[in-house]
Amino acid sequence: MRVAIMGSGNGGTAAAFEWAQAGHEVSMWDFEQFDANIAAIAAAGSIEGRVKFEGTAPVRYAGHDLDRALEGAELVLIVGPAYAHEAMGEALRGKLSEDAAYCVLPSSCNGAVVLKQALGLDLMDDTYVIGETHTLPYGCRLVAPGIVRVTTRVLDGLFVAALPSSRTPELLTKLQVVWPQAEAAKNVLQTTLQNGNPVLHPAIMLLNASRIENTGGDFLFYTEGVTLASARLMEAVEGERQELGRVLGIDIVRDPELGLRQGYVSEATYLKGYNDGIGFAKSQAPKTLDFRYLTEDVPYGLVFMSELARQCDVPTPAIDTVISMASIILDVDFRAAGKRLPKDLGFADLTLEQVRGL
């Protein structure tokens, strides 16, 4: 299969390595301002993998010519942070093929919806196979240009949905060629709400704010940063997320339970699970509070959950408290700056039954 990867960061490079090492023809593309990793891969003609991934994997093309990267692609993985989805969709506009499937990896809160908007497509347009996963299949970091370290790989529970969900089977079939652990979600609201980052990251950041400021993040984020207090806050946010899912007809799996399936933790609890979890053991805390654990997970994740919950008459006192605290300590009105509100995504005018039918 020919696979095109849009995005050359940690996740994009790990995905390119795995699909290439599995014998597929892989191309990589990124914007010109992100040149270092692309240039190193282009020069070597391959990616080097470490820890869980070992050896080298050949890359057919790495560069900034999107037409060349997309040539003959049957699967296109759009891999990047939430704020990149719109720009990637605009770059892809007018270049879609009905023979290919397009997957935002990961959703990071309605990635497939934002992609379709940027492509100029209606929400329920089913001309193309466009969808998302709820998470990256890896814990990974670039250690140098062209070299990716993968410390954990999701063993089970990689949720996938297309928009509309009638096309999920086609997307799933292509992804399972290399990711047999992928499974169908009910719809893109499940893949969006199942993303655990907004549940975990902001709670730990807020209850370790002074420590981050005093030490510059010189501690292990999960092993040392998760205490009984932060575990309780995570669980409170989790409970509200699950209740929202219940009202929407979606079964949201508690994050530590999903982490147990995925191989990240050995115990399905918020305290010991994250303190001792192999998938989190060496994760350093951010050096500053002005980091995506707050600046992405709050405005893109929690604000969306809170606003959708209001639409569904689900109270969210814990989520709202986290949004308010993050806004105060970073001096940013995250609710006013919400990046993906239901009204912006086309959900606000839908009935509950229509939302369930996505």
Q: What tens-digit pLDDT sequence spans the chain (358 residues)?
A: 999 999 999 999 999 999 999 999 999 999 999 999 999 999 999 999 999 899 999 999 999 999 999 999 999 999 998 889 999 999 999 999 999 999 999 988 899 999 999 999 998 999 999 999 999 998 889 999 999 999 888 888 999 999 999 999 999 999 999 999 999 999 999 999 999 999 999 999 999 999 999 999 999 999 999 999 999 999 999 999 999 999 999 999 999 999 999 888 889 999 999 999 888 888 899 999 999 999 999 999 999 999 999 999 999 999 999 999 999 999 999 999 877 888 888 877 777 777 777 7
CA 249 from chain center: how many Å?
22
Given this chain, do its domains 2-193 and 197-356 carry the same CATH topology? no
CATH architecture of 197-356: Orthogonal Bundle (1.10)
Cα-flanking dihedrals φ and ψ of residue 46, to 5°?
-165, 170
CA separation for the pair 296, 291 (Å, rounded) = 8
d(CA 29, CA 63): 5
What are the residues whose beta carbons fall under 8 Å from the beta carbon of 336, sequence distance 6 or more? Answer: none
Grouping H, G, I as helix, E, B as strand and the rest as coil, residue 266 is: coil
Ramachandran region of residue 217, left (φ > 0), alpha (ψ -120 to 50) or beta? left
Q: Where are the domains of the chain?
A: 2-193, 197-356
Q: Which residues are within 8 A (CB) of 204 and not within 5 positions of it... i.e. 6 or more apart?
A: 221, 222, 225, 226, 230, 234, 293
Handedness of CA 223, 228, 233, 239 (dihedral sign): positive
CATH topology for 2-193?
Rossmann fold (3.40.50)
Cis omega (within 30 of 0) for bond into 315: no
